Amino acid sequence: MESNSDEKPEQQDVLVPASLAKRMIAYAMDTILLFILIQLVALLIPNLYDENSKAEFNNLINQVSILSSDDRFDSSKMATFLEDSQLSAETSEMLLSMMFTACFLPVLYFVCGDAFFRGQTLGKATFGLRTVTFQNFEPPAFRKILIRSIVKGLASITLITPFLLPGVLNFCFCLFNRNKRCVHDLLSGTITAQPSPQS
């Protein structure tokens, strides 16, 4: 009888596909948090370099701020601008470190939430949402979590760059399929679920 009573809470934890509205709000919360984290890292990384590199970097930021928004979002013009700036090796390394960190942080964030916190990022946890496998609503294998996190993380980053089309397509794809799954869900065989209102 003890074993039956122990199993009851698991049986009551019935999951159903999450509503699109809750998923969007949860993702917006995660995006804001990620943006803050990336900004903090961008402030911290220059402190790892010498004063000359920091001064050169600050000068570069000032020059970029003078450019028009069209020029800033034109990849070919920005590439020419950086080439003409003739940055030192240390400052170039600093910029690469920032770019790598900006790409790596979202992936790490989604991996940690899905792998170590029962499929929940902070945004999902607010609404009781959870990442599960599409077939049986079980916790996904780490391989699936990794695929999902890489696609979702990189798609999230593209939304704040001139190359935003992949990110838009990833998230808008849920509007055109019956189960409201994004590309990262389809590639990893997962879905975002919530507790059933009947449970």
Number of domains into which the chain is organized: 1
- CB–CB of 159/106 below 8 Å? no
pLDDT value for 7 = 46
Position 20 in a domain = no
Confidence (pTM) = 0.83
In a domain, 153, yes or no: yes
The DSSP output letter for 177 is: S
Structural domain including 149 reads: 29-195
CA dist 195 and 2 (Å) reads: 25
Rg (CA), the chain: 21
In this prediction, residue 5 carries a pLDDT of 47
Do the domain assignments include residue 188? yes
CB 119 within 8 Å of CB 131: yes
If DSSP codes are grouped into helix, strand and coil, which group holds residue 159?
coil
Tell whether 1 is covered by a domain.
no
pLDDT the model gives residue 13: 65
24 occurs within a structural domain: no
Task: Please report how many Cα atoms fall inside a 13 Å half-sphere around the Cα of residue 99, on the Cβ side.
Answer: 8
Which residues of the chain have a pLDDT value below 70?
1-13, 198-199
Burial (CB count <10 Å: 0-12, 13-18, 19+), residue 151: buried
In a domain, 124, yes or no: yes
